[in-house]
Amino acid sequence: MIRELVLATRNRHKAAELLMLLGDPRIIIRTLDEFPGAPDVVEDGDTCEANAVKKARAIAEYTGLPAVADDTGLEVDALGGRPGVYAAGMPANMRPTKTTAESCCGS
């Protein structure tokens, strides 16, 4: 049974969320803050899943511990699912704002 794993992020809040989801206080969740030399993995996959798998594998190899990772993207039906995994690379002036999200998505 896994007693320790690395969450491939420097976001401590995500670690607390994962621990809460797992519901097992005996599991030690480590973040990249505990591995200062951990590589910055280039997220160049075509999907969020590909990026998360790539990052988890790289961090597991580096730390010698099981690792999990996530990646997010913004998929807008009215834009045919774009920008998707490429949302982070959008120029700031093209990123959706609350106003544009409300107008295109009815929120």
83 forms beta bridges with 75
71 noted as active-site residue:
yes
Structure tokens at 5: 């794993």
Phi, psi for 58 (deg, rounded to 5): -65, -40
What is the residue type of 99? Answer: T
Task: Quote the CA–CA distance of 31 and 54 in Å, as a whole number.
Answer: 16
Read off the DSSP letter of residue 26: T
Q: Which of 44, 70, 71, 77 is catalytic?
A: 71
Catalytic residues: 71
